[in-house]
Every structure is written in C-alpha cells, then in structure tokens.
Amino acid sequence: LNCSAFNSFRFLVKGGLAGAAVYVAYDQGLLGSGIESAEALRKAQETLPPAIQEWTNYLGWEVRAAQLPPTPKFEFSLANSWNKGVHRVMSALSVAPTRACEYTVEGWKYVKDLVK
C-alpha cells in the first residue's frame, strides 16, 4: 500500500467510526431533548455494570464489583445548561452592533492620532 492509499483508508475508517458514533447517539436518544438524554444516561448507568461483568466472565478475567469504578453521577440539568448557553449567545449577538460601532470609533481615533 502506498502512502496516499493508506491515508485514504484511514480517513474512511475514521469517517465510518464517527458516523457510527453519531448514529448510535441518535438511536439511543442522546441527541434529543434533555428528558430523552437523561433517560438514555439512566439506562446506560443500569446496563453497563452487568454488561462489563458478563464480558469479563466470558473472557475468563476475574473482576470483582469492588474493582470496577463507580458510574459517574451527573448533578446538573442538561436543559438548564443548554438554555444558559443560548441566552449568552443571544445576549452577545444583541450587543454586537453596538460593540462594533464603539470599536470602530476607537479605531478611527487611534488612526487619527497616528497620522497627526
């Protein structure tokens, strides 16, 4: 394999993995509303520890439940975080024309002082 073919193959594999990740996230409801995302997270917290235990038993590894790290606890509202972000962006966009005008005036003053 030459270098360009290898890079193309690598690009296709990465693109396929990224596409699969987006599809799984969409399919599990992670890209939906905050309520759907919270429900998907709850299902994952219930499903992952037994699945890990099953795979370790299948592979012959001896893993006790105490050795597994606890599932992370998220104590924030995804909907509230999203709303705060939207408010901040809209606030910044609403003052943007005024700020642009102020910066333009300051810029002209600076250029006039340089020309003098």
Per-residue pLDDT of 34-50, as tens digits, reads 777 777 777 777 777 77
- pLDDT for position 109: 92
What is the CA angle 48-38-46, rounded to 5? 20
CB-based burial of residue 30 (10 Å sphere; 0-12 exposed, 13-18 middle, 19+ buried)?
A: middle
Of 69, 68, 86, 79, give the one whose Cα is nearest residue 39: 79
3-state SS assignment for residue 75: coil
- pLDDT for position 22: 79
How many Å apart are CA 99 and CA 93, to the nearest integer? 10
Pick the range with the lowest mean pLDDT from 1-5, 24-28, 110-114. Answer: 1-5
- pLDDT for position 26: 76
- pLDDT for position 43: 77
Please check whether residue 38 is in contact with residue 48, taking contact to mean a CB–CB distance below 8 angstroms: no
- pLDDT for position 63: 54
Please state the domain count of the chain. Answer: 1
pLDDT tens, position by position, 47-87: 777 777 777 777 776 655 555 566 667 676 767 777 888 88
HEC assignment per residue over 92-105: HHHHHHHHHHHHHH
Q: In the chain, what is the greatest distance between 2 CA atoms, to the nearest angstrom?
A: 82
Domain that holds residue 69: 4-115
Alpha-carbon Rg for the chain, nearest whole angstrom, is: 26
